[in-house]
């Protein structure tokens, strides 16, 4: 039985390889009914495995809320402003920001996660893993409004980036990409990529 039908009936579904998934709760979303009516149901089922479907249901997917930065050098966290300029490079969203001396990238998920890690890559393909002190848990910072206060931060430090990576208008590489990975207590994880373009 495909995933879409399983959602409507509450029965068990099989992956394309024949593995039996756990019983799925019936879904009463009009979006799924439209998908079935248009013939997309089977293709949706083939495109998603049990784990991905379960993570989606549980809210174990990371979401990028944007980037905050200092307009003036060394401002307080509460004075950081949200970047209003950005775009997409393929599937990767990026925002324009100053590393003055750092910027704060904001991530969240519907299901609270216990740990966050990230790797930063420059346009030459050089990558560095961020240290533990680059991550700020919900409630431990003053960036943004109340919704941002309840989100995770990844602090991207300008001097550190320039020491280890090519980044800045004078280097010919004005964009860095951050691959953030959230970890849940049940052992599952989810990775999302976002970027910063140097102002």
Mean pLDDT, to the nearest integer, of 116-145? Answer: 95
2's enclosing H/E stretch is: none
Residue 15 has pLDDT above 50, yes or no: no
Distinct helix (H) and strand (E) counts, the chain = 6, 13
Higher pLDDT, 130 or 24: 130
Sequence-separated (6 or more) residues with CB below 8 Å from residue 12? 1, 6, 20, 21, 22, 23, 24
Q: Is domain 62-198 annotated with CATH 2.60.40? A: yes
* The pLDDT of residue 20: 45
* The pLDDT of residue 32: 34
* The pLDDT of residue 31: 36
Burial of residue 183 (CB within 10 Å: 0-12, 13-18, 19+) is middle
Residue 7 has pLDDT above 80, yes or no: no
Residue 62 has pLDDT above 90, yes or no: yes
Rounded to 10 degrees, what is the CA torsion of 94, 81, 77, 127?
A: 10
Residue 55 has pLDDT above 90, yes or no: no
Domain limits of the chain? 3-58, 62-198
* 160-182 pLDDT, tens digit each: 888 899 888 778 899 999 999 99
How far apart (Å, rounded) are the C-alpha atoms in residues 90 and 150? 29
Of 12-16, 52-56, 58-62, 120-124, where does mean pLDDT reach its minimum? 12-16
Mean pLDDT, to the nearest integer, of 13-41? Answer: 42
* The pLDDT of residue 74: 87
């Amino acid at each position: 039985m495909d995933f879409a039908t399983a959602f409507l009936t509450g029965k068990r579904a099989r992956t394309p390889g024949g593995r039996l998934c756990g019983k799925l709760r019936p879904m009463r979303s009009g979006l799924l009914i439209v998908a079935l009516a248009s013939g997309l149901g089977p293709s949706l089922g083939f495109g998603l495995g049990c784990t991905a479907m379960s993570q989606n249901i549980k809210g174990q997917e990371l979401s990028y809320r944007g980037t905050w930065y200092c307009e003036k050098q060394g401002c307080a966290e509460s004075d950081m402003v949200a970047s209003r300029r950005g775009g997409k490079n393929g599937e990767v969203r990026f925002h324009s920001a100053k590393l003055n001396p750092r910027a704060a990238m904001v991530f969240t998920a519907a299901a609270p996660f216990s740990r966050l890690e990230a790797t930063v890559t420059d346009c030459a393909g050089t990558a560095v893993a961020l240290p533990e002190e680059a991550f700020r848990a919900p409630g431990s910072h003053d960036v943004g409004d109340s919704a941002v206060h309840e989100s995770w931060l990844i602090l991207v430090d300008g001097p550190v980036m320039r020491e280890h990576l090519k980044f800045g208008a004078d280097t010919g590489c004005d964009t860095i990409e951050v691959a953030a990975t959230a970890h849940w207590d049940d052992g599952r994880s989810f990775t999302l990529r976002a970027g910063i373009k140097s102002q």
